[in-house]
Amino acid sequence: MIVYAFQRSQIVSTWEKLRLFYRGILENGDKRTDDWLLVYSPVPISGIFSCYLFIVWVGPKLMKHRQPINLKPVLIVYNFAMVCLSAYMFYEFTAASWLANYSLLCQPVDYSNRPLAMRMARVCWWFYISKVIELSDSIFFILRKKNSQLTFLHVYHHATMIFNWWAGVKYVAGGQSFLIGLINSLVHVLMYLYYGLAALGPHMAKYLWWKRYLTSLQLLQFFIVTIHTTYNLYADCDFPDSMNAVVFAYALSLIALFSNFYYHSYLTKNKDA
């Protein structure tokens, strides 16, 4: 009985710690963004994450004995819509940071309800939602039976970005995080422009010689973010070191994965040629 009572008290204690931890997640965020879609609790985005991984796992199996689906009209609309959304976010990140006299070296989060602070918070939320929308990329690959493009890099990048930016909007909607959104939005203007042109048909192939440079640009953004975050880890800046540490580690992982992709996609092919 004594052992049973001890085990039961341990379970209750662990459950209570988890409950308090979860309450802390909910209550210690940016109050301005609590009521915004998919922000207050991590449960909805965790559900989306789980569904995404399930689809990536089971989707190719379901499509194995089926013909690929022609999604040309959908892809054209989707990719050019993402160009427009990315361009809008790039403009908003640039305008909000410029008008608020943001520092490139150290910029704390403005948690006030002033117009420019709210403008920056809103574009951070749009950037987060864009990462949820971008999960569609994987679904399109599956439906078109382009399973070779469902690489670890692709799934890892898409699946983790939604959590990174959930935390960004939940706790630091602005400040240093603006630079990541600004650079990535610009890169995605070019990336989805490339995909949109490619979706128009094979006759566009002669205009798409710049894919290699797009990958180089993606790598460059991760190097910029790493350098910027490294500076802020050692500088006296009123921005959470925990967030900087996560961004630093994540950027390094993407540098490693994208460098590997670049090497195998372009450098080894040139050697074989």
Annotated domain spans of the chain: 42-272
Annotation says 157 is catalytic: yes
The rounded distance, in Å, linking the Cα atoms of 263 and 172 is 35
The rounded distance, in Å, linking the Cα atoms of 61 and 38 is 30
pLDDT band at 21 (very low <50, low <70, confident <90, very high): confident
pLDDT in tens, 199-224: 999 999 989 999 999 999 999 999 99
Question: Could you tell me what percent of the chain has a pLDDT over 90?
Answer: 81
pLDDT in tens, 65-122: 999 999 999 999 999 999 999 999 999 999 999 999 999 888 999 999 999 999 999 9
Residue 6 has pLDDT above 50, yes or no: no
Which member of 157, 158, 188, 228 is catalytic? 157
Residues near 187 by Cβ (< 8 Å), separated by ≥ 6? 214, 217, 218, 221
Token pair for 174: 């602005």
pLDDT in tens, 154-177: 999 999 999 999 999 999 999 999
Residue 266 has pLDDT above 70, yes or no: yes
Higher-confidence residue of 269 and 218: namely 218
For the chain, what is the mean pLDDT? Answer: 92
The rounded distance, in Å, linking the Cα atoms of 229 and 206 is 38
> For tokens 């608020």, what's the residue?
100
pTM: 0.92
Angle of helix 152-171 relative to helix 115-133, nearest 10 degrees, comes to: 150
Specify the pLDDT at position 252. 97
pLDDT band at 267 (very low <50, low <70, confident <90, very high): confident
- Compute the residue count for the chain: 273
Element (H, E) at 270: helix 268-272
| Least confident span in 9-13, 67-71, 223-227, 266-270 | 9-13
Question: Could you tell me what percent of the chain has a pLDDT over 70?
Answer: 94
Cα dist from 128 to 14, 144, 262, whole Å: 32, 26, 26
Specify the pLDDT at position 99. 97
| Burial class (CB within 10 angstroms; exposed 0-12, middle 13-18, buried 19+) of 152 | exposed
Residue 20 has pLDDT above 50, yes or no: yes
The rounded distance, in Å, linking the Cα atoms of 63 and 143 is 7
DSSP of 49-118, one letter per residue?
HHHHHHHHHHHHHHHTTSPPP--HHHHHHHHHHHHHHHHHHHHHHHHHHHHTT--SS------S--HHHH
